[in-house]
Amino acid sequence: MSLSEKLSLRNKILGVMIRDARHQASKTQDDCGAFLRLSASTFSDIEYGERPISLPELEAFAFLVDVPLEHFFGDTLLEENNGARQPPSDELVELRNRVIGVLLRQARAAARRTQAECAQFLSVPDTRISAYEYGQTPIPLSELEALAGFLEIPLQVFVDEEHNPIGQQLRRKHTLEELEHLPQEIQGFVLEPLNVNYLRTALRLSRMPADDLRTIAESLLEITY
């Protein structure tokens, strides 16, 4: 199977997953298109794999349907349904495209690859890679995934979970999920407001050099015995 065939197949798989997530969230194509600043017909093209989706668009869609972004990096369908959010601004999506372009350019330079090599790998014109790197054209997620593999970097490098509202929401969701995996007694201790000072002390101790910790331990032993 050629790369173009693989990209086409990936876009169709993503489309099925996006349609499944939309149905689970009880959203229409009009809802999702309006949220992403796209027409309903364009969003329909995404669901049928005829129009590639970019990472910023997928981030916004995942935020809308309250599904972890990582879900779309696989190939399984959903079984649950969640709520909605307010749409991101056009400026936010445009900024994310520029940031992704910068990260792509940096990754390409670090891998000692030229734009021509990346273009040849994707079977696209050299100017397309330049447009991606300068945020002039949103890069389809399927192509970004392929380039990440070509440059030998994880796709997660391009995911922003800190500097925009969507990323911050996803990071909070991840934090809660990680907390749920802790033993019940640990969860109770962490969530108890009276224990904040204990947690801060533990955090400070974890950052201290080993020699300083040893000195503190020896002092405690002298007091105890």
The rounded Cα 62 to chain-centroid distance in angstroms is 9
- The string of pLDDT tens digits covering residues 71-115 is 898 878 886 444 444 555 566 778 788 889 999 999 999 999 999
Provide the whole-model pTM. Answer: 0.60
Q: Has domain 3-73 been given CATH number 1.10.260.40?
A: yes
Q: d(Cα 170, Cα 159) in Å, to the nearest integer?
A: 10
**Collapsed DSSP state (helix, strand, coil) of residue 103:** helix
The rounded Cα 24 to chain-centroid distance in angstroms is 20
- 120-126 long-range Cβ contacts below 8 angstroms, 24+ apart: 121/3, 121/146, 121/147, 121/150, 122/3, 122/7, 122/146, 122/147, 123/2, 123/3, 123/4
- Contact at 8 Å (CB) between 60 and 88? yes
Lowest mean pLDDT across 3-7, 23-27, 119-123: 3-7
Longest dimension (CA), the chain: 77
DSSP 95: H
- The string of pLDDT tens digits covering residues 181-209 is 788 888 788 778 777 777 777 777 777 78
DSSP 140: B
Q: Which phi and psi angles does 54 have, rounded to 5°?
A: -90, 165
* Domain chopping of the chain, boundaries: 3-73, 183-224
